[in-house]
Structure 1
Amino acid sequence: MRATVLGAGVAGLCVATDLAARGCDVTVFDPAPRPGPHGCSWWAGGMLAPFCEGETAEEPVVRLGQEAADWWERQGVAVQRRGTIVLTFGRDRRELDRFARRTDGHVQVDADGLAALEPDLGGRFERALHVAAEAHLDPRAALIHLRDRLEKAGVAFAAEPGRVEGLTFDCRGLAARDALKDLRGVKGEMAVLRAPDIRLNRPIRLLHPRFSLYVVPRGDGLFMLGATQIESNDRRRSVRSALELLSAAYALHPAFGEAELVEIGADARPAFPDNLPRLSRRGDTIHVNGLFRHGFLLAPALARMAAEAACDGTRPEFWHEDHC
């Protein structure tokens, strides 16, 4: 089967990977020559944390997100399987209890247990949750790896849509609002710090009644801080969000106050009103969109479903009739 994929973000690259694995002749169209800051996927945290996402996400996110770490490893991406630590300050201890009630897959650890997992946080928190089955990856390295792997497998990449043959898989994110009218943007902002005096082994989620912070180690003393969630298509970086992220990091560990501010970024993630992804078909086009804040977590499952719908004629989960 011939297939055309529109968009080379995480959704498009995952769809192209699953189609190529089935022997399809795939061409990917994207205006940019390589993955980079122009794409929403570039600014992701890379946490493969389905159980933590269950605090606010619906059941399919938790269930299907558990496929992600294995899928990324099968593609040759380096996946760190060290779990997630969830913390809160003593005055906000009810937030940790609430999080524990709303999620699964965790065990409670006391101050000594936390110090054994994360020595640099020893003595700073009375208790925490350890979600051992979760993982994380470097999203930028993952995007570049998938792109290179597809090119080596014979998948063609082009900047401008040429002659389209077979099915088209529209994975353009917010750019697909010309066809998906109820698609909206949810702004996320992040920062990258270099703090060589701090060592963290796994992502840390710091809960707060007003906003939460996650810190993801990227290696070589780099840490990604994220992320705000604002109902907006605006991609501008705000002073307020930067202050919140940096203040929360400093509260997590004072050594972050001496860190080098490497980068601040923002982008708008595509989401539907229910914050769940959708697969839908119009003629010879299958739309794959609405990954919200779960791009690297749900793109593998969504790509599998899209390939099954196209090649096997199945009616997958997340199939949406409004655009058929």
Structure 2
Amino acid sequence: MRAKVLGAGVAGLCVAAELVARGCEVTVFDPAPRPGPHGCSWWAGGMLAPFCEGETAEEPVVRLGREAVDWWQRQGVRVERHGTIVLTLGRDRRELDRFARRVEGHAALDAAGLAALEPDLGGRFDRALHVAAEAHLDPRVALLHLRDRLEREGVAFVEGPGPAGGPTFDCRGLAARDSLPDLRGVKGEMAVLRSPDIRLARPVRLLHPRFPLYVVPRADGHFMLGATQIESDDRRRSVRSVLELLSAAYALHPAFGEAELVEIGVDARPAFPDNLPRLRRRGETIHVNGLFRHGFLLAPALARMAVEAACDHTTPELMDEDHD
């Protein structure tokens, strides 16, 4: 089969990888020549954390998200499989109890247990949760690796919107609102800090009733802080959101107060009204969209199901047929 993929973000690249695995001839169309700051995927946290997402997400997110860790490793992407730490400040202890009731797969830690896993957090918190089966990756490294690998395997990348007709996988994110009118933007802001004074081996989620924070370690002492969730597709950076991120990071560890502020980013994530992704088939086109804040977590499963629908003529989970 010859197939077109529209969009070279995480969804489009995952679909292209699944098509190549089926022996298909693939052309990917995207307005930009390479992954970069123009794309929503560039600003992702890279947490492969289906269990933690189960605090607020629907059951399919947890179940389908479990495919992600092994899928990314099969693509040759470096995945750090050290789990997730979940914490609260002392005044918010009830938040940790509430989280524990809603999320499976975790183990309770006391102060000594936390210090054994993350020495730089030792002495700062007396309770935590460790979700051992979770992992994380660097989204930018993953995007560039997958893009380069697909090109080596014969996938053609073309700058432009792509011609009409033929088997097509539309993975354009918010740009697909010309075909998916119920798609909305959810704004997310993030910051990247660099600090040589703190080391973390795994993502840390700091629960807070007003501005929850996650901190994801990256290479060379860099940390990604994220992310706000605002019902808007406005891509302007806001002082308030950045202050909340930095204040929460400082509460996690004072060393972040002396960190270098490397980058502030913002983009709008595509989501449907129920925040679940969708496959929508219209003629020869299958739309893969609505990944919300679960791009790297759910794109592998959505890509697998979309390619199964095209190649095996199935109607997989989360697919709407001929949606108007």
Asked whether the two chains share a fold, i.e. TM above 0.5, the reply is yes
Deviation at residue 322 of structure 1 after TM alignment = 5.8
Q: Note the alpha carbon deviations across 1:208-234, whole angstroms, 9 max, x for none.
A: 011200000002100000000000010
Q: Which residue of 2 aligns with 1:302?
A: 302
User: What CA distance in whole angstroms lies between the structure 2 residues aligned with 1:81 and 1:283?
Assistant: 40
Q: Superposed, which structure 2 residues align to 1:1-324 within 5 Å?
A: 1-163=1-163, 166-321=166-321, 323=323
Check 1:24–1:164 CA distance in 2 against 1; reply closer, same or farther (3 A cut).
Answer: farther
Q: Contact conserved, 2:106 with 2:130, CA < 8 A, in 1? A: yes
User: What CA distance in whole angstroms lies between the structure 1 residues aligned with 2:141 and 2:162?
Assistant: 29
Check 1:116–1:180 CA distance in 2 against 1; reply closer, same or farther (3 A cut).
Answer: same
Identical aligned residues as a percent = 85
Structure 2 residue identity aligned to 1:240:
R
> How many residues get paired?
324
Structure 2 residue identity aligned to 1:18:
E
Deviation at residue 166 of structure 1 after TM alignment = 2.8
Q: Contact conserved, 2:19 with 2:26, CA < 8 A, in 1? A: yes
Structure 1 residue identity aligned to 2:37:
P
Q: Contact conserved, 1:51 with 1:103, CA < 8 A, in 2? A: yes
Deviation at residue 165 of structure 1 after TM alignment = 5.6
Deviation at residue 283 of structure 1 after TM alignment = 1.2
Deviation at residue 37 of structure 1 after TM alignment = 0.1
Deviation at residue 80 of structure 1 after TM alignment = 0.1
User: What CA distance in whole angstroms lies between the structure 2 residues aligned with 1:315 and 1:136?
Assistant: 31
More displaced, 162-171 or 1-10?
Answer: 162-171
Structure 2 gap segments, 5+ residues each? none
Structure 2 residue identity aligned to 1:146:
L
Deviation at residue 160 of structure 1 after TM alignment = 1.8
Structure 1 residue identity aligned to 2:226:
G
Q: Contact conserved, 1:48 with 1:134, CA < 8 A, in 2? A: yes
Deviation at residue 321 of structure 1 after TM alignment = 3.6
Structure 1 gap segments, 5+ residues each? none
SS of the aligned residue for 2:234 comes to: coil
* TM-score for the superposition, normalised by structure 1: 0.99
Q: Contact conserved, 2:165 with 2:284, CA < 8 A, in 1? A: no
Deviation at residue 296 of structure 1 after TM alignment = 0.1
Q: Note the alpha carbon deviations across 1:34-90, whole angstroms, 9 max, x for none.
A: 000000000000000000000000111001100000000000000000000000011
User: What CA distance in whole angstroms lies between the structure 2 residues aligned with 1:161 and 1:275?
Assistant: 26
SS of the aligned residue for 1:320 comes to: strand
Q: Note the alpha carbon deviations across 1:251-303, whole angstroms, 9 max, x for none.
A: 10000000000000000000000000000111111100000000000000000
